[in-house]
């Protein structure tokens, strides 16, 4: 076995497609030839990396693709024109199936919102640790709301909820999701609540998460994304969100 033949067969060898004798010959060559063995190691590493990125499509997807291709080849017998048209249709069907599968995977992927939730919690913790809750410490919504003018390109909802037991502490600028965001701070008993708002293209969603012992509530609406984070218990935090929503969109 020489280098040239090894190069030719290395993929088949990696796929375990070679017979026993050929495989043993290649193994012998890989033992003796540093260049080929390095090449083989590189190939294995690449395959490993691709294996991580590549998710096998689900069975139903495979079936739909097979069916589309089969339909196309059936049309082929009638005439060249039809067959090319059928193949075109089949190819677009396949592309659509693959795309929609990709979109579904993208949407169902939890990573993005989980990452953002982590960012939100980290920002909340930082604001408490650094004792930097507010750039504009004020319980007056008419002081806090205009403070954001000219600092960010949107106007965050600022509500006075003191009579409901959520005192406005103030507002500050923060940085989340790769952009400046508005942070409003409320207090209930000993618990601080950070309320983040920024424009986003997120769909209408509402979700609750727990991260490192903090309760997080997220919702998106009318082109804005909102995140609430606190060590306050879930039911009171939910109450806060409901109050906020009823005031902001009454
Ligand atoms: Zn070699």
Q: Where is pLDDT greater, at 139 or 98?
A: 139
| Ligand 1 center to 26 CA (angstroms) | 9
Give the pLDDT mean for 22-42. 92
List, for residues 45-68, the tens digit of each pLDDT value: 877 766 655 455 566 666 776 676
| Ligand 1 center to 10 CA (angstroms) | 11
Question: Residues whose CB is under 5 A from ligand 1 (ion)?
Answer: 3, 33, 36
Distance CA 6, CA 11 (A): 9
Tell me phi and psi for residue 140, to 5 degrees.
-100, 115
List, for residues 189-235, the tens digit of each pLDDT value: 999 999 999 999 877 888 999 988 999 999 998 899 999 999 999 99
| Ligand 1 center to 22 CA (angstroms) | 15
Distance CA 212, CA 118 (A): 9
Q: Are 144 and 171 in contact (CB under 8 A)?
A: yes
Identify the pLDDT of residue 16: 86
Q: Are 218 and 225 in contact (CB under 8 A)?
A: yes
Identify the pLDDT of residue 53: 52
| Ligand 1 center to 31 CA (angstroms) | 9
Per-residue confidence band for 44, with pLDDT thresholds at 50, 70 and 90:
confident
Flag whether pLDDT at 72 surpasses 80: no
| Ligand 1 center to 20 CA (angstroms) | 19
| Ligand 1 center to 8 CA (angstroms) | 11
Flag whether pLDDT at 13 surpasses 80: yes
Per-residue confidence band for 69, with pLDDT thresholds at 50, 70 and 90:
low
Per-residue confidence band for 112, with pLDDT thresholds at 50, 70 and 90:
confident
| Ligand 1 center to 45 CA (angstroms) | 18
DSSP per-residue string spanning 181-217: EEEEEEEETTEEEEEEEEE----SEEEEEEETTEEEE
List, for residues 124-176, the tens digit of each pLDDT value: 999 999 889 999 999 999 999 999 999 999 999 999 999 999 999 999 999 99
| Ligand 1 center to 29 CA (angstroms) | 6
Scanning the structure block, which residue is given the tokens 């004792």?
131
| Ligand 1 center to 21 CA (angstroms) | 17
């Amino acid at each position: 076995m020489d280098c040239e033949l090894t190069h030719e067969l290395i993929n088949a060898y990696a796929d375990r497609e070679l017979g026993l004798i050929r495989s043993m010959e290649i193994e012998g060559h890989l033992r003796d030839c540093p260049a080929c063995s390095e090449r083989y190691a590189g190939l294995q590493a690449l395959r490993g990396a691709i294996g991580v990125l590549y998710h096998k499509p689900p069975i139903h997807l495979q079936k739909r693709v097979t069916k589309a291709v089969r339909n196309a080849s059936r049309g082929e017998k009638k005439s060249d024109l039809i067959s090319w048209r059928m193949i075109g249709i089949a190819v677009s069907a396949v592309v659509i199936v693959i795309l929609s599968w990709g979109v579904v995977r993208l949407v169902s992927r939890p990573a993005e919102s989980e990452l953002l939730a982590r960012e939100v919690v980290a920002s909340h913790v930082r604001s408490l640790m650094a004792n930097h809750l507010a750039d504009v410490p004020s319980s007056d919504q008419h002081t806090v709301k205009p403070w954001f003018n000219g600092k960010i390109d949107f106007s965050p909802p600022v509500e006075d909820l003191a009579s409901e037991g959520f005192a406005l502490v103030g507002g500050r600028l923060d940085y989340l999701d790769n952009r400046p965001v508005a942070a409003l701070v409320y207090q209930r008993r000993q618990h601080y609540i950070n309320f983040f708002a920024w424009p986003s293209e997120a769909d209408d969603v509402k979700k609750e998460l727990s991260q490192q012992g903090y309760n997080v509530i997220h919702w998106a609406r009318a082109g804005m994304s909102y995140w609430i984070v606190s060590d306050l218990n879930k039911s009171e935090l939910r109450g806060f969100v409901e109050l906020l929503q009823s005031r902001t969109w009454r």
